[in-house]
Amino acid sequence: MKTYSKNFGSSSNGSHEGEDLRRLLLDGLRDLYWAETRLTKSLPTMAQAATSKGLTRAFESHLSETEEHVNRIERVFKLLDEPAQGKKCAAMIGLLEEADEITKSTKDGSLVRDCGLILAAQKVEHYEIASYGTLRTIAEILGYEEVADILQMTLNEEEDADSKLTQLAQSHINVAAAQE
């Protein structure tokens, strides 16, 4: 298997930009690896808390995608010839705490809860979209084409998940919540 291990020398001006960029990529991947793994634990709870079948299904299908996202990051670590290691991601902890708070502060079976869960889930998606987008670009700069392709695949799915949530919000939930 082709791997992209470290092979940077310092440039003539003594800078180590390639190496520093690779470190930034690895840091970002560790953060995402932890965040995605943590998300697989929260999505079943969010699916259960949701009121509408459509939202429950959206969370369930994103759970199977998220499991695949975890596998893909493991593949990326292999390509980079680095151990698959997570680094606790404070941002994801905060975002998932928000989801929890929303569930606790809204009525079971209410559409307001669904609106709140969509709000929380879209914040998670946007965090992931920002992370995957930038890490993909860094991989491109470093010439790690296969890594960039894998990250792009996940980025597409995160964007689709985000649009699906927007559609759900627009189709019925927001309207119904306003009537409650």
Name the residues that contact Fe ion, by CB under 5 A. 66, 69
CB 180 within 8 A of CB 51: no
Measured from the CB atom, is 112 or 150 closer to Fe ion? 150
Whole-angstrom distance, CA of residue 126 vs CA of residue 123: 5
CB 52 within 8 A of CB 110: no
Output the smallest distance, CB 32 to Fe ion, in A. Answer: 8
Output the smallest distance, CB 10 to Fe ion, in A. Answer: 36
Whole-angstrom distance, CA of residue 96 vs CA of residue 75: 26
Secondary structure (DSSP) of 19-49: HHHHHHHHHHHHHHHHHHHHHHHHHHHHHHH
- Could you give the maximum distance between any two Cα atoms of the chain, in Å? 67
Q: Cβ-closest residue to Fe ion?
A: 69
Angle made by CA atoms 113, 68, 91, in degrees to the nearest 5: 50
Output the smallest distance, CB 149 to Fe ion, in A. Answer: 16
Measured from the CB atom, is 66 or 103 closer to Fe ion? 66
Output the smallest distance, CB 29 to Fe ion, in A. Answer: 13
Measured from the CB atom, is 39 or 102 closer to Fe ion? 39
Whole-angstrom distance, CA of residue 78 vs CA of residue 100: 34
Measured from the CB atom, is 69 or 164 closer to Fe ion? 69
Measured from the CB atom, is 38 or 69 closer to Fe ion? 69
CB 132 within 8 A of CB 124: no
Whole-angstrom distance, CA of residue 52 vs CA of residue 59: 11
